[in-house]
Amino acid sequence: MTARTTLIARLLAASACATALCIGAAQAETLRLLTWGGYAPDNVIALFEKEYPDIKVEVTLSNNEEMVAKLRATGGAGFDLAQPSHDRIFAAQSEFEIYKPLDLTQIETGKMQANLLEAVKANTTIDGAVYAVPHQWGTSGLVVDVTKAADVKDWSDLCKEEHKGKTSMRLRRTILLGMGFSLGYDPFALYNDTTAYSEMLDKVADKMIACKSVIKTYWNGGDDLSTLLLSGEVVASESWDSTAFKLYGENQNLVYVPPASGALTWIDTFVIPAKGRADDAAYKWINFVMRPEIVTIMSDSTGAIAAVEGGIELLPEAKKAAVKLAFDDAAIANMKFFANIPPGLEDIEGKVLERIKAASGN
């Protein structure tokens, strides 16, 4: 073989190698994940990409309203996996068709906590197809300084005169629902009866307007609430459980209390957008983050509990004690799962919240 022939052969081989690399790069998948803050921490992504080097995870942080808006605007394109809460799927899919049915044979559902899986399936089944499975769950309830307000057991107890100027709540739809349950209603059972739901909200509004003279302030975010409780300005408040669990780590007098009428329970899910391009990668991610060792890492990031059997036991040690103190079997059995929100309901609630906000306390 001449030198010229050898050179040509080497160039052809190099070209073929480069072409193969280009083809390999083109075939590498990108998993475009639309999710909440903390639900795709860098350490989990690194472990996933190490196990699946042909998949790159790309994260966009969002919330319920934005997730639906983004997918609605594109007809379900732009993302391969999204994580709306379980009560925000049925209406969006029925109206906009932004998700695709899940292939449950591709998901290790046997590892999931049965009541959470069934709750999500019940909320997200359309024409026999299931559109979501659970990932993380948590509740809204009460956080109480048990040395100063041990008698606060239910939502309406935040209005007790003996704690005047020392309680707080968040002026959003959650407190309307909680107060409704505390007053003896089942708000979710009234969702499809606008008249009955509005009548309930009128009673709730009357209670909360009368309560304004007791409430110290309405909090907006977890940082606001933490400051109020750690400073002692507030001794009892509405709270997300994850915020309360973090506070317990700083002051063990601050305990999360599931309300006697039931803690309001949300479940963040996995759904596959209608025009997602990486279903196989999406199923791999779902199964990966449900592994016990990954659950512990993820729960440390989110502050929530994974929807797997034994999820509480898999929490980081710092959070496990607070959760076990709050949730006995009775409290778990009494959880009130958020129901699908019918169109127009949030507009009605918004007007009631404005009425409460505008009213003067007595």
- pLDDT 10s digit of each residue in the chain, 362 long? 454 444 444 444 444 444 433 434 446 799 999 999 899 999 999 999 999 999 999 999 998 889 999 999 999 999 999 999 999 999 999 999 999 999 999 999 999 999 899 999 999 999 999 999 999 999 999 999 999 999 999 999 999 999 999 999 999 999 999 999 999 999 999 999 999 999 999 999 999 999 999 999 999 888 899 999 999 999 999 999 989 998 998 999 999 999 999 999 999 999 999 999 999 999 999 999 999 999 999 988 888 899 999 999 999 887 888 898 998 889 989 999 999 888 889 899 999 999 999 997 65
Residues 231, 303: Cα–Cα separation, whole Å = 22
* Helix H or strand E segment including 34: strand 29-35
Residues 155, 148: Cα–Cα separation, whole Å = 17
Q: Which residues contact 1 (CB under 8 A, 6 or more apart)?
A: 9
Name which of 272, 264, 341, 223 is nearest 98 in CA terms.
272
The answer to whether 108 touches 61, Cβ cutoff 8 Å, is: no
Q: How many CA atoms lie within 13 A of 327 on its CB side?
A: 24
Q: Which residues contact 116 (CB under 8 A, 6 or more apart)?
A: 134, 137, 267, 307
Name which of 256, 11, 227, 81 is nearest 153 in CA terms.
256
For residue 152, the Cα-to-chain-centroid distance in whole angstroms is: 26
**DSSP conformational letter for 201:** H
So what's the pLDDT on residue 360?
Answer: 77
So what's the pLDDT on residue 145?
Answer: 98
So what's the pLDDT on residue 68?
Answer: 94
So what's the pLDDT on residue 346?
Answer: 86
Residues 257, 241: Cα–Cα separation, whole Å = 8
Token digits for 351? 């007007």
So what's the pLDDT on residue 319?
Answer: 85
Name which of 224, 275, 232, 223 is nearest 251 in CA terms.
232
Token digits for 34? 């639309």
Token digits for 248? 């317990």
Show the domains of the chain with their CATH numbers.
Answer: 28-136+266-317 (3.40.190.10), 138-264+337-358 (3.40.190.10)
Helices 317-326 and 241-250, axial angle in degrees (round to 10) = 120
Residues 173, 180: Cα–Cα separation, whole Å = 11
Helices 279-289 and 42-51, axial angle in degrees (round to 10) = 120
The answer to whether 190 touches 241, Cβ cutoff 8 Å, is: no
Token digits for 277? 């391009």
Is 0.85 topped by the overall pTM?
Answer: no
Helix (H, G, I), strand (E, B) or coil at 59: strand
Residues 165, 156: Cα–Cα separation, whole Å = 15
So what's the pLDDT on residue 352?
Answer: 97
Name which of 156, 129, 279 is nearest 215 in CA terms.
156
